[in-house]
Copies of this chain bind each other. A is one copy, B any other.
Amino acid sequence: MNGAESLVRTLVGGGVNVCFANPGTSEMHFVAALDRVDGMRCVLGLFEGVVTGAADGYYRMTDNPAATLLHLGPGLANGLANIHNANKAASGMVNIVGDHATYHRQYDAPLTSDIEGLARPSSHWVKTSPNAMGIAADGAAAIAAARMAPGRIATLILPADTAWNEGSGAVSVAPAAKPAPPAPDAVTEAARVLRSGEPTLLLLTGRAVRADGLELAGKIAAKTGARLIAQGSNARTQRGRGRVSVERIPYVVDQALKVLAGLKHVILVGAKMPVAFFAYPDKPSLLTPPDCQGHTLARPEEDLIAALEMLCEEVGARGTPAPVVNDPLPTQAIGAITPEALGASVGALLPDNAIVADEAVTTGRGFFAPTKSANPHDWLSNMGGSIGLGPPLAAGAAVACPDRKVVALQADGSAMYTVQALWTQAREGLDVTTVLFSNRCYQILRGELANVGAGNPGRKALDMLDLGNPDIDWVGLAKSLGVPAARVTDMDGFNRQFAAAVATPGPFLVEVAM
């Protein structure tokens, strides 16, 4: 059994059952081994950002890493933006990056590059596996690294001769790491703050914004009068009717300052003290008031649920009912298309147990409120700020959860970075409804140009923010990649097309003329 097959068997044995792939020559032995090993689903992406973004979505919905298969340094480079996003989302991922045969590297053939150097900025674990007898053990170590709590990026570089020489056979993988127990002192301190009566916020992220974490936090808030809020972005928030609702810290600095004004304490549940997404002249980087203190209840690598349970106990909130959303379903909007109307209709029509992949950017900033009382759903956000995550994220979530509808709320500018993901959605028959907000500009930058004090833009500056001239025909684009699509120009059309799309299995794209 060669090194490649030893690695594939180690992956499968270690519970890594999906590989998102864009292979090349140096990965051919890995690809060939897929036919000799049962239990690995291999999903092709036509660009590596699709591959890595899909692995992020897969992890978020399974809490288990997928593998990616990438072709040397440039293949990894093409995947790095979404690896950056996954890293910020604490998604586990095992990247297998093929390289030249070890003895061939000295000749500096065209595709030679410093793969480890490229991997390091966004990988927790990086190793070039020097020989075939060791590759399975290195693979097992990579899986163990990816399965830490929270998840991490592991990048295993596989030279061609490490793949083709005789290997060791499969190596067994250590069970996934459990999160570290919370520090009792931190719980005591958080309880003291909550009892102080001073304005206090519980700032949640990670596991704490799943349904169980929110229920515990809701009890604590109800008992103590503390406020709840989530980070601006969160990997996976469970929300909708019957669940404890949580707002997010706004992206816009002035709005965030207003939301956080007057606070004396922030209790951090897997979160950091909130900071502005970008710096702006004459605006602060830190969003909390200067006299506000942060208190860490639990760090990201600690067991957030256990910490909330202990805190619940400590403040005597175990028997306190958590306030859950029981408002009626939102009502579909009619008339002209506006962000508010879209939010209402998405809230009204979102299927039960849907997964929302949110890269709606400016159009979607207000969607959280009107979907608060939608059917129960999971909401996935972009954690690293690199746009072009949405279409692959939706694909990965759909691979992870074939029995759930994925609704991708997608801005046009960001969709263009990884539009190839539509093809993967079509090929795999993934159950993704993409709502494509076609405002034909980088709308966010129009605001940012003013926010950074860059003055009144002229023609050349505005051209750099404009996606028109020519307008992108999203219906034609989706169809050319195998995804059926329709364009809507009013809410009546949107309601009809969106309802039909979510009721029909398989991929569909609704282009919304903004």
Contacts and interface: CB of A to CB of B under 8 A. Distances in A.
B44 A74 contact: no
Interface in A353-410: 383-386, 388
Interface in A452-476: 452-455, 457-461, 463-467, 469-476
A29 to B, nearest CB: 5
B384 A469 contact: no
Contact of A477 (B101, B470, B475, B481): B481
Contacts of A413: 46
A81 B74 contact: yes
Given A110-B384, A481-B470, A417 B78 contact: yes
B77 A463 contact: no
A233 interface: yes
A464 B120 contact: no
A118 B101 CA distance: 23
Given A481-B477, A482-B470, A113 B84 contact: yes
B449 A101 contact: no
Contacts of A164: 281, 452-454
Contacts of A454: 28-29, 31-32, 164
Nearest to A115: B121
A469 B459 CA distance: 43
A375 B470 CA distance: 33
A103 B448 contact: no
A275 to B, nearest CB: 4
Contact of A476 (B84, B107, B442, B480): B480
Contacts of A81: 74-75, 77-78
B452 A160 contact: yes
Nearest to A81: B74
A151 interface: no
A49 B48 CA distance: 12
Interface stretch (A19-27, A215-223, A331-339, A342-350): A19-27
A84 B74 contact: yes
A195 interface: no
A479 interface: yes
Nearest to A29: B454
A276 interface: yes
A21 B38 CA distance: 46
Given A28-B445, A118-B121, A121-B117, A285 B463 contact: no
Contacts of A127: none
A506 to B, nearest CB: 12
A296 to B, nearest CB: 15
A426 interface: yes
A6 B406 CA distance: 48
A28 B453 CA distance: 9
Given A34-B461, A35-B460, A481-B470, A28 B84 contact: no
A237 B363 CA distance: 48
A122 interface: yes
A256 to B, nearest CB: 12
A56 to B, nearest CB: 13
Contacts of A420: 416-417, 419
A25 B77 contact: no
B464 A23 contact: yes
Interface of A: 21, 23-26, 28-29, 31-32, 34-36, 42, 44, 46-47, 49, 72-75, 77-78, 80-81, 84-85, 88, 100-101, 103-104, 107-111, 113-114, 117-118, 120-122, 160-161, 164, 233, 272, 275-279, 281, 285-286, 383-386, 388, 413, 416-417, 419-420, 423, 426-427, 442, 444-445, 448-449, 451-455, 457-461, 463-467, 469-477, 479-482
11 contacts: A25-B445, A36-B458, A44-B466, A46-B413, A75-B81, A77-B81, A78-B78, A100-B279, A103-B285, A108-B275, A477-B480
